[in-house]
Copies of this chain bind each other. A is one copy, B any other.
């Protein structure tokens, strides 16, 4: 980690090469290489010695040489079309870190949400530039046709932030159902009996799962909670504004509103303020994602997704599958569920009496 891999101006640092390892372990370069790549057809004792030398010399293979020799650079695409900048930033961070950890190259492409034609085009242009793997963020991760198209071209795919058990493609994300269930239960335990829910984009799997989660929590609470108010949102701020307006103007009593994501929760708060309501005194508001902490007031109670971690894991899965494909082994479909967390901040309180 701490080694200096770059020749600094002036100073010529010498790094251990495969030859150094070979000499120290008393074997040939070929054997060292074998230990480091396939990890098979090597005598256990020999392997031990090589690994020991690697550790002692803090050796790490030169990527350029390896790439040149194998003629196989690993290039991973990341396509994204979600409105939240924070979300994307975190995802990118994780993916970037994962890429450098695996010495892969990341090519990023952004496309406007909504317009699927453009999205498809972007993905294809990325593919045309040469690609081994692709990370698809929601809602692209639900485009079954697109995924199929990519896979047919020999490109490994992983969907990000889509949970749900899928058999067509690897996915990594949180358990949306449970998280939504927990948050709704928190609201109910706080004493809220008149609750509104702003639904997420209907085409997105996570919206469905979250909705199922809150309904289960509501059902579980039984008669203690009044019939909830639902309004349709589309995950963006603007639609959250409309949904909030709808709920708050309905004439029905509401002491808490749960929005399918933070952007819409922010809109709900904005609308509440407009209508002279104090958050959380008059009304509690909660979101989902934890992407806008510190940029709204009061600070939002929400569900935190470890997005960077998700991005890193996505790359790991991809790299593994790319290796498998290269080696002729069939790729694996993996479904990783990452732990989420309720983050209680300032936007929730006991209902007003």
Binding site for B on A (CB under 8 A): 1-10, 62-65, 67-68, 71-73, 75, 83, 85-86, 88-89, 92-93, 96, 100, 105-108, 110, 128-132, 153-154, 236-238, 241, 263, 266-267, 270, 273-274, 276, 291-292, 294-297, 325-326
The interface residues of chain B lying within 8 Å CB-to-CB of A266 are 295
A3 to B131, CA, bound (A): 11
**15 A-B contacts (beta carbon < 8 Å):** A4-B128, A4-B130, A5-B75, A6-B75, A6-B130, A6-B132, A8-B130, A64-B67, A64-B68, A96-B108, A237-B295, A237-B296, A263-B295, A267-B297, A273-B273
Contacts of A108 in B (CB 8 A): 93, 96
Of all chain B residues, which has the CB nearest A8? B154
Partner of A8, one of B10, B88, B153: B153
Q: Taking CB as reference atom, which chain B residue is nearest A153?
A: B8
The answer to whether B83 and A85 have CB atoms under 8 Å apart is no
Given A64-B73, A237-B296, A270-B273, A129 contacting B4 (CB threshold 8 A) = yes
Q: Judging by beta carbons under 8 Å apart, are B326 and A5 in contact?
A: no
Q: Which of A2, A6, A128, A325 has the most CB of B within 10 A?
A: A6
Within the complex, the shortest CB–CB distance from A266 to chain B, in Å, comes to: 7
User: Which chain B residue shows the least CB distance to A267?
Assistant: B297
Minimum CB–CB distance from A126 to chain B (whole Å) comes to 11
**Residues in B neighbouring A85, C-beta threshold 8 A:** 85-86, 88-89, 291
Distance of A140 from chain B, by nearest CB (Å): 17
Q: A100-B107, A270-B270, A292-B295 are in contact. List 15 more A-B contacts (CB 8 A).
A: A2-B128, A2-B129, A4-B129, A6-B72, A6-B132, A7-B71, A9-B132, A63-B64, A64-B73, A85-B89, A96-B108, A266-B295, A270-B296, A270-B297, A276-B276
